[in-house]
Amino acid sequence: METEVAVVPLTPLDIHNKEFSRGFRGYDEDEVNEFLDQIIKDYEMLIREKKQLEEKVAELTEKLNYFSNIEETLNKSILVAQEAAEEVKRNAQKEAKLIIKEAEKNAERIIGDALAKSRKIALEIEELKRQSKVFRARFRMLVEAQLDMINSRDWDELMEYETPDLEEEAKEPLSQP
C-alpha cells in the first residue's frame, strides 16, 4: 500500500526564499536569480488569475442558482396556471351543462304550458261553436215564428177591418137609454 503525500503548492514567497547549494562551476547566480524573479512574477500572475477565475466561477454559480430557482418557480407557476385553467374549463363545462339542462326544463315547461293553453282554447272554440249553433237555431226559430206571424191571415183580416167614421159618430148625439 502506497501512502499519498500531500503536495502543497508553492507560493511566490517559497520560490523567492529558495536557497540553492553552490557547486564548483555552478550556474551564474545573477542569471538564476533573474530567472527566479521572472518565475515569481509569472506565478503571482497565475495565482491572481486563478483567484479571479474562482471568483468569476462563484459569481456565475450564484447566478446559475438564481436562474435555476427562477426557472423552477416559473415551471411551478406554469403548472399551477395550467391546473387553474383546467379547473376553470371544467367548471365552465359543468356550468354550461347546468344552464343547458335548465333551459331544456324551461323549454319543456313553456311547451307544456303552450299545449295546455292550446287545448283550452280549442275547447273554448268548440264550446263557442256549440253555443253559436244553439243561438242560431233559436234565432231561426224566432225569425220563423215572426215570419209565420207576419204571413198569418190575421194581418189580412186586420187590413180588412173597417174603422167607423169618427166624424160621423161625433156628430150623432149620444143616446141615452
Percent of the chain with pLDDT over 70: 85
72-85 pLDDT per residue, tens: 999 999 999 999 99
Q: pLDDT category, 171, cuts 50, 70, 90?
A: low
24-48 pLDDT per residue, tens: 777 777 888 888 888 888 888 988 9
124-153 pLDDT per residue, tens: 999 999 999 999 999 899 898 888 888 877
All residues at 6 or more sequence positions from 16 whose CB lies less than 8 Å from its CB, including other chains: 36, 40
Measured CA to CA, the distance from residue 76 to residue 174 in angstroms comes to 136
DSSP letters, 63-119, are HHHHHHHHHHHHHHHHHHHHHHHHHHHHHHHHHHHHHHHHHHHHHHHHHHHHHHHHH
Measured CA to CA, the distance from residue 64 to residue 61 in angstroms comes to 5
- Per-residue CA distances from 65 to 76, 127, 131 (Å): 16, 91, 97
Q: Minimum mean pLDDT among 50-59, 112-121, 129-138, 157-166: which range?
A: 157-166
Mean pLDDT, range 154-174, rounded to an integer: 68
pLDDT at 154: 76
Bigger pLDDT: 124 vs 158: 124
Q: pLDDT category, 158, cuts 50, 70, 90?
A: confident
Residue with grid cell 509569472, as numbered in its chain: 42
pTM: 0.42
Helix (H) or strand (E) holding 36: helix 29-151
pLDDT at 29: 79
